[in-house]
Amino acid sequence: AREEAEFKKRTPRSHEIHERGKASLPMGVSSSFQAVPPYPLFISRAEGSRIWDYDGNEYIDFHLGFGSLLVGHSHPVLMAALRDQLGKGSLYSLPCPDSVFLAEELVRRFAPIEQVRFCNSGTEATMDAIRLARAHTRRDKIVKIEGAYHGHHDNVLMSTKPSLEAAGPARHPNTVPASQGIPADVKNNTIIAPYNDAEALDQILSEHEGEVAAVITEAVLMNVGIMLPQEGYLQRVRDITRRHGVLLIFDEVKTGVTVAPGGITELYPVEPDLICLAKSIGGGMPIGAFGGREEIMRHINHQEVLHLGTFNGNPMSMRAGLVTLTEIFTPEAHAHANQLSAALAKSYEDLIASTGLPMHVAQIGAKGCAMFRHERARNYRAWLEVDMELSFAYWLFLANRGILFPPGLDDQWTISVQHSQADIEHHARVFHEFVAEISR
């Protein structure tokens, strides 16, 4: 309560503009994820690792657009390239050379990709990949993992955070739409499976033999903190999907370039059929992409699969992605962000170990999180035991001391190539203060 009072004292203008915004925007925001208690911070500018709210408070940004800004804010190299592109026009809706160069760079970085198509968000990427998988297999159903988030289109906006009562049997979960307005027919085509349970998946695919086009999953779940696969799980999923003639789609919207230069399959050498990308591959401009083997991607043609979009491959996003991936994300830059992330994880771990706090840490590349639960959760049901009240108190505590974290702590930190050792040390110091406070 004290932290909430302090937050409100520091941010009256955010409160005021939010109240005003409620008249013209439902909930006062443009994405419901932004409508968090007590009210969202409104932002007026950002640069490097820093972001400033409407009241002028400065924060070190570990939110980074839900992990879309591995590049950090307003990187000078990127700004120069975007200013140059703006002078040449921001939209053609005809192809531009940079789209080819960026496609080549993604093919070079991501082992499973032979061909790629661009779209404008992670949501579009998973939507388009699912359509392609359905066309390729001539099947309608998909399987998604309980607790995972793949964007806001109807097919996948299911069982993202279902209540325990609605979720049903742990090994054969119910499909629980996360929103009203999704037709029952769509719901019936999405089957839910638990994470880290290859046998349950096998069972579900056997029950629906010949009906399932694809299993869509993140290799490491990134919307329930960071949930790691157990030894051998991903390989088993690969074997099982292959046996059932089901495509495997890895959603790398978050993991993409942030966990390793070539994404998650660099760390877990399991080959999916399709991968979806977005967020950090675009240097902060709206972007999405999906790609895979040519034998699958070739269905995209005038007769079979339509993949469309006025803004697809637009010159601003293409230039942003190209410059970010080829000029800014050097191996050294990736190593810098990863090393800071590992250092932050270590300082959390050291304090947790010495105090015996019921917490755990997970870190992978530039991403990491600390969860208020004693052990790592291996699936969504276990993750529900995270102390969300304490997580929220910690979010406020951080914000009041100049650290911006994704709200809710079901997300994770992202460390950009522009963060510094001092930024990490400040973050670690605030965690120490929090621990001292709650131990009193």
Q: Output the smallest distance, CB 20 to ligand PLP, in A.
A: 25
- Number of neighbouring beta carbons within 10 Å of residue 203: 15
109 binds ligand PLP (CB under 6 A): no
Task: Kindly name the residue from 39, 59, 149, 380 that is annotated as catalytic.
Answer: 149
For ligand PLP, the closer CB: 81 or 285: 285
Measured at the alpha carbon of residue 290, what is the angle toward residues 69 and 31, in degrees to the nearest 5?
A: 50
Q: Which residue is nearest to ligand PLP (CB)?
A: 122
Q: Is 33 helix (H, G, I), strand (E, B) or coil?
A: helix
278 binds ligand PLP (CB under 6 A): yes
- Residue 412 has phi, psi (to 5 degrees) of -140, 165
Contact of 165 with 175, CB cutoff 8 Å: no
Contact of 284 with 64, CB cutoff 8 Å: no
Task: Kindly name the residue from 141, 144, 254, 279 that is annotated as catalytic.
Answer: 279
Of 147-155, 318-326, 372-380, 427-435, the window that binds ligand PLP (rule: CB under 6 A) is 147-155
Q: Measuring CA to CA, which residue among 247, 263, 293, 282 is closest to residue 131?
A: 247
409 binds ligand PLP (CB under 6 A): no
Q: How far apart are CA 118 and CA 105, in angstroms?
A: 13
Active site residue 84: no
Beta bridge partners of 51: 46, 59
Contact of 237 with 274, CB cutoff 8 Å: no
Active site residue 22: no
Of 143-151, 299-307, 328-336, 341-349, the window that binds ligand PLP (rule: CB under 6 A) is 143-151
Please identify which residue in 64, 129, 201, 253 interacts with ligand PLP, judged by CB under 6 A: 253
Active site residue 279: yes
Beta bridge partners of 57: none
Q: Which two tokens stand for residue 349?
A: 């771990």
For ligand PLP, the closer CB: 119 or 370: 119
Please identify which residue in 50, 134, 139, 254 interacts with ligand PLP, judged by CB under 6 A: 254
Of 91-99, 146-154, 228-236, 420-428, the window that binds ligand PLP (rule: CB under 6 A) is 146-154
Angle, to 10 degrees, between the axis of helix 233-243 and the axis of helix 198-207? Answer: 10
Task: Kindly name the residue from 98, 197, 251, 423 that is annotated as catalytic.
Answer: 251
155 binds ligand PLP (CB under 6 A): no
Q: What is the DSSP letter of 340?
A: H
Please identify which residue in 204, 220, 222, 234 interacts with ligand PLP, judged by CB under 6 A: 222
| # residues contacting ligand PLP (CB under 6 A) | 15
Helices (H) and strands (E) in the chain, counts: 18, 14
- Number of neighbouring beta carbons within 10 Å of residue 31: 9
66 binds ligand PLP (CB under 6 A): yes
Binding site for ligand PLP (CB under 6 A): 66, 121-123, 126, 149-151, 218, 222-223, 251, 253-254, 278
List residues with catalytic annotation.
Answer: 149, 251, 279
